[in-house]
Amino acid sequence: MENVTLPILDKAFVENLIPQKFPFVMVDKLLVFTENEITAGLTVSENNIFVKEGIFQESGLIEHMAQSVALYTGYQFFLKQEPAPIGYIGSIKTIEISQLPKLDEQIETTVNVLHEFMGVTLVDISSKINNIEIARGQMKTVLAS
């Protein structure tokens, strides 16, 4: 296994940990990884399909949150030297968005795994810009069988 240290700022490496591919990739950094938590990042760029008039839209922010969960799973599989599985948003319990990111802002999203059982992961998610929370939520993701 290749030697990897955190944080991982190589966009191509991060993209290989999730099933989504350009132009639908909404994570570009893996900042922190522990047994039950990950912090992922995204710098909002003009070529992002969810940017409209310089603002990262709600749908993009929710997809970024979901891909942060996918990155958690993908990195777990990377550590086991297995390919990243495909997963889906099973349900969204709550999402509260208080601010939308602008171009060049860096989103840092922390995912806390509450339960993980038989391919279903329940998580709390918090997204921040400059340590100020801009969104929070809870969702379930489900691995494809």
pLDDT tens for the chain, residues 1 to 145: 456 799 999 999 999 999 899 899 999 999 999 999 999 999 999 999 999 999 999 999 999 999 999 999 999 999 999 987 888 899 999 999 999 999 999 999 999 999 999 989 999 999 999 999 999 999 999 988 6
Is the previous residue joined to 23 through a cis bond, with omega within 30 degrees of 0?
A: yes
So what's the pLDDT on residue 85?
83
pTM here is: 0.94
pLDDT of residue 127: 98
Residue range 11-143 in CATH 3.10.129.10: yes
- Bridge partners (DSSP) listed for residue 126: 110, 136
The SS3 call for residue 13 is: helix
Question: How high is the pLDDT of residue 122?
Answer: 96
Q: Which of 92, 91, 145, 84 shows the shortest CA–CA distance to 118?
A: 145
